């Protein structure tokens, strides 16, 4: 066990300041031991990524010293980091799409003028076999799933002989099964006396895989705990700085009215690939319908199809609303663009995944962004800025949006505040149907819980909510029902009160879930 | 058949400067730099290649053809590379907008070449800037290989093969060699792989430990040098070693379009240069009785067609390097 206590990396009073004012890391001192799995825990914006970027040579510290294996190190580029045996798997993969796995792995390495592919493939297969990966060296990156890409990143780091591996939010894009597999690999690396640092804000994963936890809050180091001697509650308190309740409400709404009844939704993309195939959805007012699935299983297409942004190849979307006299009225809105729907009095809101690209205009201020939703109701050639400004100021107060003012471009706001602006604006338009895609991605715990309670409020008002999420724990807690997508097909709909994570995980990888998975294995 | 052979022969000669320009720009774009200054760098190569030989002869007297050839290549390469270096410094180090910088380089290069061309010409006793007959011979197309010439009299097909394969000036063969070496470099070597990575995603290349700026500088500067040699071909071969005002005349722009036609592949650039070379001299070999302007418009029409076809079939493997046109700064958030 002596190797366990050897210190691999020591950071002394390391600081990083951006543009002379944003303090991302403030005098952080910590150590990383050889042969341990260390979790770096902190909310978004707490400086975890900045800190490890200084170890991997992306950023250079403004103050402080870093010691690697007892020697003072100056890591000025990723190349320097490799030389010290430090390898990093970034949250956004640093892979070249048009190259193969093997080409990505040897990128930038010294060696002969030409590439000996045969030997290279052999070496890659050896590493894969040693740690239990599944990887084909000749496959192009653009043909790979997210989990395969991550495997390439990890093999790339190992191939370079790294004995300190840093993984930035490695599980954010994986299914539960893939996560389990990844953790098994990490444990095998630990047995091999490699040091693994994993950055995360998912507490259950910290508990499951790590030996020790370093906690950061607002750019500062707050402490270290042994995983064995801590609890989720304690970690949360340290991370957020105060006690907060971790359970998500699921209010019951008695009167559920069918709002949208869609059948056989089918989309084909520009390359002729069917991205959504014969999916049926029923959205009820006063209900949150969760959507689960591996990234890229048709979630985007489903949302956009219902919102009227994606042309349908086949299928119908029937909206159950009221006519001017208040009598029930049903009409097929498939293929009708959003503006046409607004004219027909169909109030529908869509909070897209890409908040600053599709949701808001990044360079415009809050008032203008709010105005985008209402300007067309103005009469005459001039727009009314008074009402939107008032609404914007209202949102700032009610949702506790941190901004220097409503006249500041929204791109300068942090992720959580951007989401609050977008969600607040959409809710202010009083929708009957609210579609939200990955609403808490990149948000800290506080902002996430604000979003959950906003969604629950809408649900209580009788709004039908479609919630596309990636964290199954959250989906299981907040949704009433969960529909699972797999490769663009509907894998099934489950009751969120009774379903288990494993069951949904299987449905995400096999249409039909458990039974289909068994059949698949039988056929192998 | 004789007509066809003559057309192909002329197409190769007209296509070679385009080939150099295209190859230079392919190398540049592979590093993620969209250098629209090809026309300017070709002009700079045109004047410097000619002036190099002109002054060498003035100072050292007449020299053998091969020395003249080397001087011309070296001078034009260095001058084109110098133009690219200005572009590289502005876009890579100072991170200026690539499009604006490239267009400025074109304007600069045209002015540079015509200015020095006029000055040197008006200073010379004959009021022409021209090189000796001996030097001109080095850039002339070679006659038929002697052994084959005898046979060619008997068999017409031997004459055709000889004419199509073995009877060009040396620069044509140099162009094809550069294309093949570049294809090998990009597809088979480590450095080529790294260069492609830099153009596709410099952040990923950087994270893999590739010195991004060094690759960008080298590719851009060498690419500019190759463009310069293409310009020298125009003043030495096309214009027979005499300075002609505005001699490059838009060929640099066609080269930029050819890069797209060749889908960023040096070997396909050979074919593309042949096609575009053929289109540019078509009116002299295929008289259809239509206005000359319509012939002149053909290369540009073909470019538009290629743009339409390539944008319709979006192939990931035959596309512009993803980060081409954008500058890279590591600490950008």
> Nearest CA of chain B to the CA of A92: how many Å?
10
Cβ–Cβ below 8 Å for A90 and B207: yes
Range of the domain at A252: 247-347+431-444+456-524
Element (H, E) at A459: helix A445-460
Rounded distance between C-alpha atoms, residue B131 and residue A245, angstroms: 88
> In angstroms, how far is the first alpha carbon of chain B from the final one?
63
Q: Going by C-beta distance under 8 Å and a sequence separation of 6 or more, which residues neighbour residue A505?
A: A175, A176, A177, A472
Nearest to A16 by CA among A50, A56, A41: A50
ipTM exceeds 0.90? no
Residues A225 and A290 both lie in one domain: no
Dihedral angle, C-alpha A95, A101, A105, A110, nearest 10 °: -110
> Nearest CA of chain A to the CA of B257: how many Å?
22
Residues A208 and A298 both lie in one domain: no
Q: Is B317 on the interface with A (CB under 8 A)?
A: yes
How many domains are there within chain B?
1
- Domain stop point among A210, A240, A270: A240
Q: Coil, strand or helix: which one is A436?
A: strand
Rounded distance between C-alpha atoms, residue B243 and residue B259, angstroms: 28
Residues A180 and A310 both lie in one domain: no
Phi, psi of A384, rounded to the nearest 5 degrees: -95, 115
The string of DSSP codes covering A463-517 is -EEEEE-S-HHHHHHH-SEEEEEETTEEEEEEETTT--HHHHHHHHHSTTSHHHH
Task: Tell whether B320 is covered by a domain.
Answer: no
> In angstroms, how far is the first alpha carbon of chain A from the final one?
42
Q: Going by C-beta distance under 8 Å and a sequence separation of 6 or more, which residues neighbour residue B111?
A: none
Q: Which residues of A touch B319 (CB under 8 A)?
A: 98
Task: Tell whether A450 is covered by a domain.
Answer: no
Q: Which residues of A touch B205 (CB under 8 A)?
A: 96, 107-108
User: What is the CATH number for A521?
Assistant: 3.40.50.300
Of A104, A109, A142, the CB nearest to B316: A142
Cβ–Cβ below 8 Å for B205 and A58: no
> Nearest CA of chain A to the CA of B181: how many Å?
13
Average pLDDT, chain B: 90
Task: Tell whether A271 is covered by a domain.
Answer: yes
Phi, psi of A214, rounded to the nearest 5 degrees: -95, 135
Cβ–Cβ below 8 Å for A98 and B316: yes
Q: Which residues of B touch A104 (CB under 8 A)?
A: 208
Is A127 within 8 Å of A159 (Cβ atoms)?
A: yes
Q: Which of B192, B209, B215, B332 to mutate to test the interface with A (most CBs of A within 10 A)?
A: B209
Q: What's the average model confidence in pLDDT over B104-132? A: 92
- Domain stop point among A240, A257, A273: A240
Cβ–Cβ below 8 Å for B193 and A109: no
Residues A217 and A264 both lie in one domain: no
Task: Tell whether B323 is covered by a domain.
Answer: no
| Token code pair at residue A284 | 């009820």
Q: Which residues of B touch A59 (CB under 8 A)?
A: 331
- Split at pLDDT 50, 70, 90, the class of B231 is very high
Which residue stretches of chain A have pLDDT < 70? Answer: 1-5, 513-524
Cβ–Cβ below 8 Å for A94 and B210: no
Q: Which residues of B touch A58 (CB under 8 A)?
A: 206-207, 330-331
> Nearest CA of chain A to the CA of B208: how many Å?
6
pLDDT recorded at residue A175: 75
Task: Tell whether A392 is covered by a domain.
Answer: no
Element (H, E) at A481: strand A481-486
Task: Tell whether A354 is covered by a domain.
Answer: no
Q: Which residues of B touch A107 (CB under 8 A)?
A: 193-194, 197, 204-205, 208-210
**Tens-digit pLDDT profile for residues A144-157:** 888 889 999 999 99
Residues A138 and A32 both lie in one domain: yes
Task: Tell whether B322 is covered by a domain.
Answer: no
- Between strands A328-332 and A37-41, the pairing is unpaired
Task: Tell whether B326 is covered by a domain.
Answer: no
Question: Does pLDDT of B6 surpass 70?
Answer: yes
Rounded distance between C-alpha atoms, residue B177 and residue B12, angstroms: 14
Report the predicted TM-score, pTM, of the whole model to 2 decimal places.
0.77
Question: B283 exposed, middle or buried (CB, 10 Å; 0-12, 13-18, 19+)?
Answer: middle
Q: Which residues of B touch A138 (CB under 8 A)?
A: none
Q: What's the average model confidence in pLDDT over B78-86? A: 97
pLDDT recorded at residue A415: 75
Task: Tell whether A121 is covered by a domain.
Answer: yes
Task: Tell whether B318 is covered by a domain.
Answer: no
Residues A94 and A109 both lie in one domain: yes
pLDDT recorded at residue B144: 60
Task: Tell whether B332 is covered by a domain.
Answer: no
By CA distance, what is A91's nearest residue in B?
A: B204
Cβ–Cβ below 8 Å for A96 and B210: no
Element (H, E) at A213: strand A212-217
How many domains are there within chain A?
2
Cβ–Cβ below 8 Å for B208 and A78: yes
Task: Tell whether A150 is covered by a domain.
Answer: yes
Q: Which of A90, A94, A101, A108 to mutate to test the interface with B (most CBs of B within 10 A)?
A: A108
By CA distance, what is A77's nearest residue in B?
A: B209
Task: Tell whether A218 is covered by a domain.
Answer: yes
User: In terms of residues, how long is chain A?
Assistant: 524
> Nearest CA of chain A to the CA of B204: how many Å?
4
Q: Going by C-beta distance under 8 Å and a sequence separation of 6 or more, which residues neighbour residue B28?
A: B34, B35, B84, B219, B220, B223, B224
Range of the domain at B91: 2-312
Q: Which residues of A touch B206 (CB under 8 A)?
A: 58, 77-78
Of A82, A98, A103, the CB nearest to B317: A98
Q: How many CB atoms lie within 10 A of CB A296?
A: 15
Residues A259 and A331 both lie in one domain: yes
Please, what is the angle between helix B146-154 and helix B156-166, to 10°? 150
Task: Tell whether B321 is covered by a domain.
Answer: no
Rounded distance between C-alpha atoms, residue A450 and residue A419, angstroms: 10
Q: Is B208 on the interface with A (CB under 8 A)?
A: yes
Residues A319 and A438 both lie in one domain: yes
Rounded distance between C-alpha atoms, residue A172 and residue A484, angstroms: 18
Task: Tell whether B25 is covered by a domain.
Answer: yes
Residues A93 and A112 both lie in one domain: yes
Cβ–Cβ below 8 Å for B209 and A108: yes
Q: Which residues of A touch B190 (CB under 8 A)?
A: 106, 109, 111-115
- Domain stop point among A240, A275, A304: A240
Residues A194 and A233 both lie in one domain: yes
pLDDT recorded at residue A86: 93
**Tens-digit pLDDT profile for residues B19-49:** 999 999 999 999 999 999 999 999 999 999 9
Is A279 within 8 Å of A300 (Cβ atoms)?
A: no
pLDDT recorded at residue B145: 65
Instruction: Give CA separation, B225 vs A221, A416, A418, B299, in Å.
Output: 53, 50, 48, 24
Residues A224 and A276 both lie in one domain: no
User: What is the CATH number for B107?
Assistant: 1.10.3470
Q: Which residues of A touch B324 (CB under 8 A)?
A: none
Residues A207 and A329 both lie in one domain: no
Task: Tell whether A394 is covered by a domain.
Answer: no
């Amino acid at each position: 066990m002596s190797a366990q206590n050897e210190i691999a990396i020591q950071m002394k009073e390391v600081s990083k300041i951006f543009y002379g004012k944003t303090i991302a890391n403030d005098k952080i001192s910590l150590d990383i031991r050889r042969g341990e799995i260390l979790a770096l825990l902190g909310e978004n914006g707490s400086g975890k990524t900045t800190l490890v970027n200084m170890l991997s040579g992306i950023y250079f510290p403004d103050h402080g010293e870093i010691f690697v294996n007892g020697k003072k190190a100056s890591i000025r580029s990723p190349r320097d980091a490799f030389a010290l045996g430090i390898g990093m798997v970034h949250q956004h993969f640093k892979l070249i799409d048009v190259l193969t796995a093997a080409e990505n792995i040897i990128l930038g390495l010294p060696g002969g003028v030409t590439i000996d592919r045969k030997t290279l493939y052999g070496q890659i297969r050896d590493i894969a076999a040693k740690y239990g990966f599944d990887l084909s060296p000749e496959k192009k990156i653009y043909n790979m799933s997210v989990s395969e890409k991550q495997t390439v990143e990890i093999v790339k780091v190992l191939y370079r002989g790294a004995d300190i591996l840093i993984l930035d939010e490695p599980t954010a894009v994986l299914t539960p099964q893939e996560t389990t597999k990844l953790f098994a690999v990490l444990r095998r690396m630990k047995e091999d006396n490699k040091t693994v640092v994993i950055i995360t804000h998912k507490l259950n994963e910290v508990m499951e895989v790590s030996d020790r936890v370093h906690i950061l809050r607002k750019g500062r180091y707050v402490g270290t705990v042994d995983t064995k001697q801590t609890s989720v509650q304690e970690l949360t308190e340290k991370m957020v700085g105060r006690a907060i309740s971790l359970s998500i409400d699921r209010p019951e709404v008695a009167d559920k009215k069918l709002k949208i009844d869609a059948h056989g939704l089918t989309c084909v993309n520009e390359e002729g690939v069917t991205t959504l195939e014969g999916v049926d959805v029923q959205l009820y007012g006063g209900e949150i319908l969760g959507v689960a699935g591996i990234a890229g299983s048709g979630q985007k297409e489903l949302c956009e199809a219902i919102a009227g942004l994606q042309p349908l190849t086949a299928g119908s979307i029937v909206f159950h609303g009221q006519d001017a006299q208040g009598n029930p009225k049903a009409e097929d809105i498939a293929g009708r663009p959003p503006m046409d729907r607004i004219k027909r009095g169909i109030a529908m809101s869509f909070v897209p995944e890409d908040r600053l690209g599709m949701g808001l205009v990044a360079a415009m201020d809050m008032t203008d962004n709010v105005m985008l939703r209402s300007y067309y109701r103005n009469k005459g050639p001039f727009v009314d800025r008074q009402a939107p400004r008032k609404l914007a100021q209202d949102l700032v107060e009610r949702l506790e949006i941190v901004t220097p003012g409503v006249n500041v471009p929204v791109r300068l706001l942090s992720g959580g505040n951007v989401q609050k602006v977008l969600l607040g604006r959409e809710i202010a338009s009083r929708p009957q149907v609210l579609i939200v895609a990955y609403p808490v991605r990149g948000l800290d715990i506080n902002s996430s819980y604000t979003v959950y309670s906003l969604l629950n409020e809408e649900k209580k008002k009788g709004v039908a909510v479609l919630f596309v999420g990636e964290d199954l724990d959250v989906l299981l807690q907040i949704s009433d029902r969960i529909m699972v997508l797999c490769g663009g097909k509907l894998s099934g709909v489950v009751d969120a009160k009774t379903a288990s994570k494993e069951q949904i995980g299987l449905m995400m990888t096999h249409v039909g879930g458990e039974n289909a998975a068994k059949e698949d294995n039988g056929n192998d | 058949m004789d007509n066809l052979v003559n057309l192909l022969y002329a197409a190769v000669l007209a296509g070679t400067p385009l080939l150099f320009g295209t190859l230079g720009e392919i190398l540049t774009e592979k590093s993620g730099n969209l250098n629209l200054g090809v026309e300017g760098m070709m002009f700079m190569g045109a004047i410097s290649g000619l002036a190099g030989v002109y002054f060498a002869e003035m100072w050292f007297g007449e020299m053998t053809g091969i020395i003249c050839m080397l001087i011309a290549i070296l001078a034009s390469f260095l001058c084109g590379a110098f133009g690219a270096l200005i572009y590289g410094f502005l876009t890579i180090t100072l991170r200026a907008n690539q499009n604006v910088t490239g267009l400025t380089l074109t304007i600069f290069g045209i002015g540079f070449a015509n200015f020095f061309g006029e000055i040197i010409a008006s200073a010379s006793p004959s009021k022409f800037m021209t090189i000796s007959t001996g030097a001109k011979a080095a850039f002339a197309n070679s006659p038929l290989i002697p052994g084959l010439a005898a046979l060619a009299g008997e068999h017409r097909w031997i004459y055709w093969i000889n004419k199509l394969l073995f009877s060009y000036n040396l620069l044509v063969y140099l162009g094809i060699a550069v294309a093949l070496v570049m294809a090998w470099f990009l597809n088979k070597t480590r450095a080529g792989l790294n260069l492609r990575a830099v153009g596709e995603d410099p952040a990923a290349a950087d994270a893999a430990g590739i010195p991004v700026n060094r690759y960008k500088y080298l590719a851009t500067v060498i690419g500019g040098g190759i463009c310069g040699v293409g310009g020298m071909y125009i003043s030495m071969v096309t214009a027979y070693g005499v300075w002609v005002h505005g001699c490059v005349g838009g060929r640099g722009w066609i080269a930029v379009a050819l890069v797209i036609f060749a889908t960023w592949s040096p070997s396909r650039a050979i074919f593309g240069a042949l096609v575009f070379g053929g289109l540019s001299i078509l009116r002299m070999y295929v008289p259809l009785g239509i206005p000359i302007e319509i012939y002149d418009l053909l290369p540009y029409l073909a470019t538009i067609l290629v743009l339409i076809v390539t944008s319709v079939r979006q192939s990931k493997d035959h596309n512009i390097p993803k980060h081409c046109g954008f500058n890279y700064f590591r600490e950008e958030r």
